[in-house]
Structure 1
Amino acid sequence: MSVTASSLRPTTSGVLLSEVAGAVSGSRRGADVQVSGITHDSRAVHDGDVYVAFAGARFHGSEFIEEAMANGAVAVLTDEVGAAVADAVGLSCIVVPDVRQVLGAASSMIYGNPAESMTMVGITGTNGKTTTAYLLDAALRAAGRTTGLIGTITTTIDGESVASIRTTPEATDLFALLAVMKERGVDAVVMEVSSHALVMGRVNGVIFDSMGFTNLSQDHLDFHHTMENYLAAKALAFTPIHARQGVVLLLNDDSQLWSRSLMGLAQIPLTVIRDTNVSGDGSDVTFRVNAGGGNSATVKSTADEVEVVTQLAGSWNVLNAVLAQQLAVSVGVSADLAIAGISSVSSVPGRLEPVQVRENPIEGFVDYAHTPDAVEQVVSELRSLAGTQRKLVVVIGCGGDRDAFKRPLMGAAAARWADVVVITDDNPRSEDPAIIRAAVMTGAASANASASLVNVADRQAAIQQAVDLAGPDGLVAVLGKGHETGQEVAGVVTPFDDRAALRRALGGDQ
């Protein structure tokens, strides 16, 4: 079995079930057993574990209590429904009204409260979390810190990578992972914090030393339903139960309104990093993107004035670099060391990642852009790179079982700037892929009547057609999946990597 972040377990001496019950203000039933681990997956139970049983979308975890017991569980953390089953099979339990909300506290107690002895820095926002996390990790390492990184692409423990299952792990997995990091000498952790994680209590039990905010634009409305709910979810990160201080980007664009709204909801001290073209308080940190390529910015605070430079392509990445630098400073890293670390990062997987073949003059790029705002940023940037003489071809799709409202908006964002938009499948999951493509196509057609639109279901064929349409010196951008290595259709994930697919289409090695 391959090692993933969710499968790692620390070495623990264990605690009494009564101690866990006290930490979550729960009622203990049965023997006061020694427990050494905790999991919400009955298949992943180790000897001595607490099994967590709560109501899910399709079933209640209590249905698997006997399986968990057979696998070595010695107790259950559950509600009254699960407690009845635990009582019937003679298994000790802790009973609470809302299991999800106490998972963090229970897991933290069992694994020795690992977050309390490490510097914890979180990053939330719609776009830019992953790149900012990579840059911040480099800044901390430049300052001599031994780091852990938890995010969308990968999890790293002092430079060693293990696969990530989701942006923010479930609380049971998160605290096991943090305990492993602590065992291996990590003293600073950078973590992407998703809105789902905040609402579902995955980071309950962690108080971040600093929390960064990138921006807010439309995404995840299948879950949050409204932008106001989405904002409220992000704002949870800026309350005393989750963070001691916050660092917020205030940009001169459409995200400014949402950033200001978040600032109004925040209940912790904030450092505001404000574009010099935006009005604000005299105590704000200000920044100005420097002319000549957009990969550096002058950042001015009450303490100093410095230049932050990034090697990363994309004008938006200098904003991620500025946020990373100020987050590093907020946890005690000197400005100069932070800048040195940030400037050492030359790429982030699947983020405007170049894909080229020596024999083919076409420039190829793969990017994770999967929101209307991210697509707009990437494609407009590539339009500037292509100019008016070179053809820009964009391959795009939208995920199934996710925010359907953004599909036409993403198509429109691509068509506004591209000469050709090839619309294809991107993890349709349980939905009819043709319906998803039609929604993207509708948005693209409404935005730019002069753009050529092509509908190709098969993603490899779509990428090949994009290359064929680009001309001898065109640009091809494949958007949506970035670093991902699988395509999910009807519950089955098959291997697929946009970077490899684009390389094949360009005539490179398989």
Structure 2
Amino acid sequence: MRPHEPRPIDLAAALAAVGLPVGPGTGLLPTVTGITLDSRAVLPGDVYAALPGATRHGAGFAGQAVLAGAVAVLTDGVGRELLGDGVAVPVVVVPDPRRVIGPLARVIFGGDSEDDGGAPALFGVTGTNGKTTTTYFVNALLEALGRSTGLIGTIEIRAGGDAIPSALTTPESPQVHSLLALMRERGIDAASMEVSSHALEFGRVDGVVFDVAGFTNLTQDHLDLHGTMEEYFAVKAALFTAERCRTAVVLIDDAWGRRLAETADVPVLTVRTDGSRSGGDGSVPPAEADWTVTDVERSGLGHSFALAARDGRRLRVRSGLPGSFNISNAALAAVMVLAAGVPEHDLQHALDAHDPFTTEVPGRMQLIAEEPASIVDFAHNPDALERTLASVRRPGGRVIAVFGATGQRDESKRPVMGAVGARLSDVLIITDDDPHDEDEAVIRRAVRAGADAAVTEEGLACEVLEVFPRADAIDRAVALATAGDTVIIAGRGHEVWQEVKGINLSLDDRVELRSALTRHGFSGLSAAGIES
């Protein structure tokens, strides 16, 4: 997804604009129209950024990039040595090309230009859980206000009406900047983006300045990358600096959010959505906030509530999506749009007239059937799983949960997830998620150990089963269910491929759940378009 009318720029001028004057021996640099670090995505006129990878250096693909039309190569010293004299285009050598390509992509794709109406207003959302839903909520509210929107996230990338599936939560920086250029070209008013810790760690949003950055929460996840929660927090906090955003909206339901609100060096609006949660051992009183959720009531499968400002102003808000955590997602989205300068009366009219926070988010508390209540969710860490399971129980009905753990990720959370599942389910079916290159049985054993220990030590009545493959586990859950029960399939959400030993197997929890419901005599709701 590139602009249809790229703007040629002299590469030497682009490099100078990001503080990289051309050194001696580089030669005459060409005019360029794009930049990419994927040799398969090179278009004529591109700079090919040859970066070191996990197993191979990108310089090994430079020949392919030049054949596709690359007119220059940007790389490091190792890449220069690998290239030797075997490339027929100028080679620019920088010490750390990954930290350069974001700002350089911004310049090459015209991110500093105010022509054609300027850039869309940018909303970035980070945190452990809730990023996807919050970005969908922000977009739905903006569309209710009459704005045209774009989206960059886990599920899909949209530039107006066009949508493509996503491979990463946040694409690599050249793709981000090319997408923003396409949105400018199409006159899109606003765009929402999920900003993962991986994106911040690996420079995927370098050169991007968000008008409003939002923070959801911080719970145990991705410690295989970050090592500790302190390091994980430090990476997230990097978004809330003047280099990356203009203003921030922070949920302060937990201690990490309160700490972020205190340390961010940009203007911050705080939002409290759960006054009973102290964010730790219960010794910390609920924090005062600029906006506070009050008067929560059930509304269909979701909730209605008020957002009360410090000075007494109030907004009436509703989300029809299941899960009390969607109160937090909706509140954050509403205040983020307010922080962008939308008048309160306009926002309230959009909320009343269009019910934007009932928009369906693929694979996020997605309702597949009503009897039994059958839900697919992406919850794949202990906190998300706890919030999901705690929110789906119906009076008189059982909770039948199906989930596993991902291979080659933080192993310490596996027994914790098993224990959470045992505490909050009547029937827990442990199965496979994406094992990647790990032994599936070893992963299941770790999850089950946590579940069995919780049942034994806490005297729980939960029945723990181990069923695999995953499609069979989903079928078993439905076979055990009655119309008044809730079946929750957690962990994979919108994903349609299961990676096993390097092979992608077709597997969509929503499709499998619908098929199982039909086999066992239940009726499902109509399929969402995104699934096809």
The TM-score, its normalising length taken from structure 1, stands at 0.92
For 1:470, which of 457, 461, 481 is the aligned residue? Answer: 481
Check the 8 A contact 1:423/1:453 in 2, yes or no.
yes
Task: Measure how far apart 1:43 and its partner are.
Answer: 1.8
Question: Match of 1:4?
Answer: none
Q: Deviations over 1:22-71 (max 9, x none)?
A: 13323531222011111111122111110001212212111121221122
Question: Match of 1:19?
Answer: 13
Task: Measure how far apart 1:213 and its partner are.
Answer: 0.4
For the aligned residue pairs, the C-alpha RMSD in angstroms reads: 2.1
Name structure 2 gaps, 5 residues minimum. 279-284, 528-532
Name structure 1 gaps, 5 residues minimum. 1-6
Task: Measure how far apart 1:414 and its partner are.
Answer: 1.2
- CA distance in 1 between counterparts of 2:234 and 2:331 reads 25
For 2:245, what is the secondary structure of its paired residue? coil
Question: Match of 1:317?
Answer: 326
- CA distance in 2 between counterparts of 1:422 and 1:79 reads 49
Matched, 1:390 2:397: yes
Runs (4+) of structure 1 moved beyond 6 Å?
A: 280-283
For 2:49, which of 38, 52, 72 is the aligned residue? Answer: 52
Matched, 1:500 2:502: no
Question: Match of 1:285?
Answer: 291
For 2:518, what is the secondary structure of its paired residue? coil
Matched, 1:333 2:342: yes
For 1:117, what is the secondary structure of its paired residue? coil
Matched, 1:161 2:163: yes
Distance of aligned partners of 1:371 and 1:328 in 2 relative to their CA distance in 1, 3 Å threshold? same
Q: Deviations over 1:271-307 (max 9, x none)?
A: 1112455757767222225244571222122472222
For 1:299, which of 298, 307, 317 is the aligned residue? Answer: 307
Structure 1, 477-486 or 151-160: larger mean CA deviation = 151-160
Map residues 33-432 of structure 1 onto 2, 5 A cutoff.
33-86=30-83, 88=85, 89-113=87-111, 117-251=119-253, 256-275=254-273, 276=275, 284-292=290-298, 295-301=303-309, 302=311, 304-339=313-348, 340-341=350-351, 343-346=355-358, 347-356=360-369, 361-383=371-393, 385=394, 387=395, 389-432=396-439
Q: Which amino acid in 2 is paired with 1:220? A: H
Q: Which amino acid in 1 is paired with 2:71? A: V
Q: Deviations over 1:78-113 (max 9, x none)?
A: 112223455623421222211111111111111111
Q: Which amino acid in 2 is paired with 1:22? A: A
Task: Measure how far apart 1:261 and its partner are.
Answer: 2.3
Check the 8 A contact 2:318/2:357 in 1, yes or no.
no
Q: Which amino acid in 2 is paired with 1:44? A: A
Q: Which amino acid in 1 is paired with 2:96? A: D
Q: Deviations over 1:331-378 (max 9, x none)?
A: 111234334257234321111111128xxx422111111111111011
Distance of aligned partners of 1:489 and 1:337 in 2 relative to their CA distance in 1, 3 Å threshold? farther
Matched, 1:437 2:440: no
- CA distance in 2 between counterparts of 1:267 and 1:68 reads 41
Question: Match of 2:497?
Answer: 486
- CA distance in 1 between counterparts of 2:399 and 2:472 reads 18
Structure 1, 316-325 or 27-36: larger mean CA deviation = 27-36
Distance of aligned partners of 1:227 and 1:129 in 2 relative to their CA distance in 1, 3 Å threshold? same
Distance of aligned partners of 1:22 and 1:402 in 2 relative to their CA distance in 1, 3 Å threshold? same
For 1:190, what is the secondary structure of its paired residue? strand
Distance of aligned partners of 1:236 and 1:242 in 2 relative to their CA distance in 1, 3 Å threshold? same
For 2:239, what is the secondary structure of its paired residue? helix
Check the 8 A contact 2:373/2:483 in 1, yes or no.
no
For 1:109, what is the secondary structure of its paired residue? helix
Check the 8 A contact 2:399/2:486 in 1, yes or no.
yes
Q: Deviations over 1:100-143 (max 9, x none)?
A: 11111111111111796221111111111111111111111222
Check the 8 A contact 1:478/1:498 in 2, yes or no.
yes
Check the 8 A contact 1:369/1:479 in 2, yes or no.
yes
- CA distance in 2 between counterparts of 1:273 and 1:393 reads 33
Task: Measure how far apart 1:170 and its partner are.
Answer: 0.3
Q: Which amino acid in 2 is paired with 1:456? A: V
- CA distance in 1 between counterparts of 2:479 and 2:289 reads 53
Task: Measure how far apart 1:187 and its partner are.
Answer: 1.9
Task: Measure how far apart 1:394 and its partner are.
Answer: 0.5
Structure 1, 39-48 or 330-339: larger mean CA deviation = 330-339
For 1:104, what is the secondary structure of its paired residue? helix
Structure 1, 43-52 or 10-19: larger mean CA deviation = 10-19
Q: Which amino acid in 1 is paired with 2:304? A: S
For 2:28, which of 27, 31, 36 is the aligned residue? Answer: 31
Structure 1, 474-483 or 445-454: larger mean CA deviation = 445-454
- CA distance in 2 between counterparts of 1:330 and 1:162 reads 29
Q: Deviations over 1:456-505 (max 9, x none)?
A: 22011111111122245422111111111111111121221101101111
Aligned pairs, how many?
494
- CA distance in 1 between counterparts of 2:70 and 2:501 reads 33
Q: Deviations over 1:302-346 (max 9, x none)?
A: 472222211222111111111101000011112343342572343
Question: Match of 2:281?
Answer: none
- CA distance in 2 between counterparts of 1:244 and 1:352 reads 31
The TM-score, its normalising length taken from structure 2, stands at 0.88
- The percent identity for this pair of structures is 43
Check the 8 A contact 2:365/2:375 in 1, yes or no.
yes
For 1:422, what is the secondary structure of its paired residue? strand
Q: Which amino acid in 1 is paired with 2:516? A: A
Check the 8 A contact 2:144/2:356 in 1, yes or no.
no
Matched, 1:459 2:451: no
Q: Deviations over 1:220-268 (max 9, x none)?
A: 11111111111011000101111111100112xxxx1111222233121
- CA distance in 2 between counterparts of 1:417 and 1:400 reads 23
Q: Which amino acid in 2 is paired with 1:250? A: I
For 1:122, what is the secondary structure of its paired residue? strand
